[in-house]
Chain A
Amino acid sequence: EDQVTQSPEALRLQEGESSSLNCSYTVSGLRGLFWYRQDPGKGPEFLFTLYSAGEEKEKERLKATLTKKESFLHITAPKPEDSATYLCAVQNSGYALNFGKGTSLLVTP
């Protein structure tokens, strides 16, 4: 059975204080690992897709990396507008998607 575990559950950072969010996974035949951002009361918003170990993708202050067992979302010099819940998901060989429970990030000025 596919499993996705995100840590920490919640993270509080000062503006400018860089950190990383973790997503560890077990999946039968990984098709892709995905990162989403979700603001309160809204649907998740796509950030990245990673397909194979060693792959990295960047977008503004965010950088996602992938190994065979986990993925990291690095946040460099975060701003208050980066506050949100960050979700990790894996897609297995059967096309089903399995989401983690998310990391709630709060960035204070």
Chain B
Amino acid sequence: EAQVTQNPRYLITVTGKKLTVTCSQNMNHEYMSWYRQDPGLGLRQIYYSMNVEVTDKGDVPEGYKVSRKEKRNFPLILESPSPNQTSLYFCASSLGTTDNEQFFGPGTRLTVL
């Protein structure tokens, strides 16, 4: 089944404890992206990647890191999480950079205490 998977789905952590949210797609997609969704602010792009080893900042990259060493994986790293990073995170992928039929993962709900 074609899908985007994220792990973990739910995470409660404490300020400053490094964490990684994994994202994997099995559709051989070129474009991958991370978003956060907050009430009243909508869906905001954190980082995106047009291909392996090519990443770029979205609207809200501060406090996040990404890497794209393999086509299928695009992990999101929070080196020192803070409470303002409490949010619902979505990973998405699409075949090309402009067709943008993006397939979204199920979401990761992160709480930073």
Binding site for B on A (CB under 8 A): 31-32, 34, 36, 41-46, 49, 87, 89, 91, 94-102
Contact = CB atoms under 8 A, between A and B. Distances in A.
Nearest to B35: A99
B98 A31 contact: yes
Nearest to A46: B101
Interface string B1-40: 0001000000000000000000000000001010100001
A97 B100 contact: yes
Interface of B: 4, 31, 33, 35, 40-45, 48, 50, 56, 58-59, 90, 92, 97-107
B54 to A, nearest CB: 10
Contact of B42 (A32, A96, A100): A100
A58 to B, nearest CB: 16
Given A43-B90, A43-B106, A87 B100 contact: no
Contact of A95 (B41, B48, B103): B48
A97 B45 contact: yes
Contacts of A31: 98
Contacts of B97: 95
29 contacts: A32-B100, A34-B100, A42-B107, A44-B43, A44-B90, A44-B104, A45-B104, A46-B102, A46-B103, A49-B100, A87-B42, A87-B43, A89-B43, A94-B56, A95-B48, A95-B97, A95-B98, A96-B45, A96-B48, A96-B56, A97-B33, A97-B48, A97-B100, A98-B59, A99-B43, A99-B44, A100-B42, A101-B41, A102-B42
A51 B104 CA distance: 21
A36 B59 CA distance: 19
A97 B58 contact: yes
Given A99-B44, A100-B42, A43 B50 contact: no
